[in-house]
């Protein structure tokens, strides 16, 4: 057994360090989040279910606002979005990064101020852009040359839309190759190295319907090291200096995206927002001083770092099977409600809750109910050796890229989302039902 695995297993199945701050141990092996017993949530709303701690969301928003008091903190809606989430983000004073007309419309209907929204996307549809212009989003991030004329045409001769240009700074960072977006061999942004970014910037500046407010970059996701962000700052400031020299334009804004990593298991590294802010601000000021530029207003786009640690996924055990030395614990969800392990090799730390077990912990694999060998929620985890059908399994750090990436595979139905806060549980998103599937199937 490897040393890293031994270190993780030694933390024990009762380690709650990656759980929401409100998590508490209760008698008889129960656990509460937000003052609500997870067993009570499972009994009331069924399983699988997502539990979201409103207090944890708000606390993380405030942590970012405190770390970046002079910057725009823009929540990345793709991590998790609902009407309640929109309200929490609004009330905590954050902006909102949306990637489609669907996300934009939901936020708009929930009352989010459109001027605090940013529209992203590497392939924005005409409907996406039309919706953004109709609603009046604050910024549209240009991701390809074809968008420049398209946005300008839809704005019309009498209008003006604020835009940013997404630059690929040539920085490789992120927890998996599929979520590294700062280098040229991926679909996002315009390359700094081949001149595509500079050409797009010149074209935007030539469009009277577009107002270039600044530059944007996003180098990847689940990043736990500050250094790649500092490299990005220096390269982006260098580009801003060249823009001033070539066009006589001083850009007032710099958006460095998000990708801030969180710990999914005890002992995992995580990015510290306060340390990040301190280093970013210092390096940005120093780089601008060398380039002879005023310091632009900074923006960051955390998504996972706000929503991820606030969520817990609940499952019922359907079967336990011993195959040789392996214990497989099959639950009533899986890759339809959490595709991240199959997509990225994501690792989690599930826990038995709802009863006390005196059995010795054993190394187990928690698997889903779907017809895929890769339908694995967590491997090499410690669970009691007497884990059995009917037990309740809780998986922390389930608040990001699970609800938003869930599917209807095998027509199982997506789980509900339940918010907990101050001892009260309330339904945010209902469970998807067989009636929902039947209503969508209109053929004969």
C-alpha pair distances (Å), 289 with each of 228, 231, 248, 275: 20, 16, 18, 21
Q: Which of 44, 99, 217, 371 is catalytic?
A: 371
How far is Cα 416 from Cα 431, in angstroms, rounded to an integer? 4
| Sequence-separated contacts (24+) of 10-17 with Cβ below 8 Å | 11/265, 11/266, 11/267, 12/361, 12/382, 13/351, 13/352, 13/361, 13/381, 13/382, 13/383, 13/384, 14/351, 15/266, 15/349, 16/396, 17/263, 17/266
Six token digits for residue 193: 């190295």
Burial label, 47 (beta-carbon count in 10 A; 0-12, 13-18, 19+):
buried
Active site residue 217: no
Neighbouring C-beta atoms of residue 279, cutoff 10 Å: 16
In sequence order, what are the residues at sequence separation of 6 or more whose Cβ sits closer than 8 angstroms to the Cβ of residue 74?
94, 95, 96, 97, 116, 118, 255, 299, 300, 301
Provide the 3-class DSSP secondary structure of residue 316.
Answer: strand
Beta bridge partners of 140: 119, 163
The burial of 41, by beta-carbon neighbours within 10 Å (0-12 exposed, 13-18 middle, 19 or more buried), is given as: buried
Q: Which residues are catalytic?
A: 371
């Amino acid at each position: 057994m490897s040393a890293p695995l031994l270190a993780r297993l030694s933390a024990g199945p009762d380690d709650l360090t990656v759980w929401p701050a409100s998590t508490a141990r209760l008698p008889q092996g129960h656990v509460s989040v937000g003052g609500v017993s997870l067993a009570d949530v499972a009994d009331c709303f069924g399983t699988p279910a997502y539990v979201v701690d409103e207090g944890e969301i708000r606390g993380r928003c405030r942590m970012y606002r405190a770390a970046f008091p002079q910057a725009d903190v823009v929540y990345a809606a793709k991590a998790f979005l609902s009407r309640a989430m929109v309200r929490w983000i609004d009330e905590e004073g954050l902006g909102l990064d949306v990637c489609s007309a669907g996300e934009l419309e939901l936020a708009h209907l929930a009352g989010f101020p459109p001027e605090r929204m940013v529209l992203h996307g590497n392939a924005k549809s005409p409907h996406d852009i039309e919706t953004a212009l109709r609603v009046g989003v604050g910024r549209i991030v240009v991701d390809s040359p074809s968008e420049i004329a398209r946005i300008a045409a839809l704005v019309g001769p009498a209008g003006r839309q604020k835009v940013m240009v997404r630059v690929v700074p040539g920085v490789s960072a992120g927890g998996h190759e599929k979520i590294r977006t700062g280098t040229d061999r991926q679909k996002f942004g315009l390359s700094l190295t081949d001149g595509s970014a500079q050409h797009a910037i010149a074209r935007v500046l030539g469009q009277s319907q577009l107002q270039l407010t600044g530059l944007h970059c996003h180098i990847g996701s689940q990043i736990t090291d500050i250094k790649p962000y500092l490299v990005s700052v220096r390269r982006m400031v260098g580009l801003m200096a060249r823009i001033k020299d070539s066009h006589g334009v001083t850009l007032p804004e710099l958006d460095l995206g998000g990708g801030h990593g969180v710990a999914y298991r005890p002992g995992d590294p995580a990015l510290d927002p306060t340390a990040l802010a301190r280093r970013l601000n210092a390096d940005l000021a120093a780089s601008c001083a060398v380039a002879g530029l005023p310091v632009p207003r900074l923006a960051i786009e955390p998504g996972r770092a706000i929503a991820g640690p606030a969520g817990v996924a609940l499952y019922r055990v359907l079967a336990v099977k011993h195959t040789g030395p392996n214990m497989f614990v099959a639950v009533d969800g899986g890759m339809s409600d959490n595709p991240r392990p199959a997509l990225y090799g994501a690792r989690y730390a599930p826990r038995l809750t709802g009863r006390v077990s005196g059995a010795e912990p054993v190394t187990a694999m928690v698997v889903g109910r779907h017809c895929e060998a890769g339908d694995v929620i967590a491997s090499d985890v410690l669970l009691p050796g007497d884990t059995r059908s009917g037990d309740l399994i809780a998986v922390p750090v389930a608040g990001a890229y699970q609800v938003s990436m869930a599917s209807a595979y095998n027509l199982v139905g997506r789980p509900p989302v339940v918010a907990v806060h101050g001892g009260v549980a309330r339904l945010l998103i209902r469970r998807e039902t067989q009636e929902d599937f039947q209503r969508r199937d209109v053929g004969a």
